C-alpha cells in the first residue's frame, strides 16, 4: 500500500491486479482494478503475469514514445 500511495502522490496512474482482499484494501486509489480469484501463492505469479503483460502490450507507445527492442536500445545507447 505504501508503494501505491507514493506513486499516486507523484501523479502516477495505478492499475491494480490483485485478489478481492487486495482490491478492498486499495480502496479508490487505483484508476482501474482487475480482480482475479484467490489462488495458491505458487501459481499466482504465473497467472498474474498474463494480464500484466497484456496491459503493457496495449499501453506501449501511449505516451508518444517509440518502443525499441533491447538490441536497438543497446546499439543506440553505446553511440554506435
60 close to 41: Cβ distance less than 8 angstroms: no
Query: Looking at the DSSP assignment, which residues form a beta bridge with residue 35?
Result: 18
pLDDT category, 36, cuts 50, 70, 90? very high
pLDDT category, 56, cuts 50, 70, 90? confident
Whether the per-residue pLDDT at 71 is higher than 60: the answer is no
Buried b (16+ CB within 10 A) or exposed e, 29-57: ebeebeebeeeeeeeeeeebeeeeeeeee
64: left (phi over 0), alpha (psi -120 to 50) or beta: left
Q: Give me the pLDDT at residue 63, please.
A: 62
Amino acid at each position: 500500500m505504501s508503494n501505491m500511495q507514493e506513486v499516486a502522490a507523484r501523479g502516477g496512474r495505478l492499475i491494480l491486479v490483485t485478489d478481492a482482499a487486495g482490491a478492498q484494501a486499495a480502496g479508490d486509489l487505483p484508476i482501474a482494478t482487475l480482480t482475479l480469484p484467490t489462488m495458491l501463492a505458487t501459481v499466482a505469479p504465473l497467472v498474474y503475469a498474463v494480464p500484466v503483460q497484456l496491459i503493457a502490450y496495449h499501453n506501449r507507445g501511449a505516451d508518444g514514445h517509440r518502443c525499441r527492442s533491447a538490441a536497438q536500445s543497446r546499439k543506440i545507447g553505446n553511440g554506435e
